[in-house]
Amino acid sequence: MCHQTVSLAARHLEAAGIPTVILGCAKDIVEHVGVPRLLFSDFPLGNPAGRPHDRPSQDFTLDLALRLLKVAPAPRTTVQSPLPWAADPAWKLDYCNIARLSPEEIGRRRAEFERQKDIARAGRASG
């Protein structure tokens, strides 16, 4: 989900008296919008609630978010999760970095993307 959209929705909810905590991976965007509470996970986009299929990291993240909701000391509080995505920070160099892919891998990914678009088109046409 779009970090900016979620952040704007949180601000609206907060204005109506409903407390919120944003779980996000795009710290710059969320802080720019100015939400009251952000739990930042230094993970790839789409993974703010913990590692996929890793229940302990997800439980830890939820617990941390609930604690932040309860004890945030001031508006615009950001807490960074201590969980690492991987032991080697090189994942940041690889994540969405086309320069680090071979021409064959780019071709494979492009073909898969086109295949997924064809499936979506077929689904729309039949539905």
Q: 18 exposed, middle or buried (CB, 10 Å; 0-12, 13-18, 19+)?
A: exposed
pTM of the predicted model as reported, rounded to 2 decimal places: 0.74
29: helix, coil or strand?
helix
User: Per residue in 33-58, pLDDT tens?
Assistant: 889 999 999 999 889 999 999 999 99
Nearest residue to 78 (alpha-carbon basis) of 5, 26, 43, 6: 26
Share of the chain above pLDDT 90, in %: 72
pLDDT band per the 50, 70, 90 thresholds, residue 101: confident
Distances (CA, A) of 20 to 99, 106, 126: 38, 40, 40
pLDDT at 96: 73
Tokens of 32: 């720019």
pLDDT at 71: 93
pLDDT band per the 50, 70, 90 thresholds, residue 90: confident
Whether residue 88 is predicted with pLDDT greater than 90 in this model: the reply is no
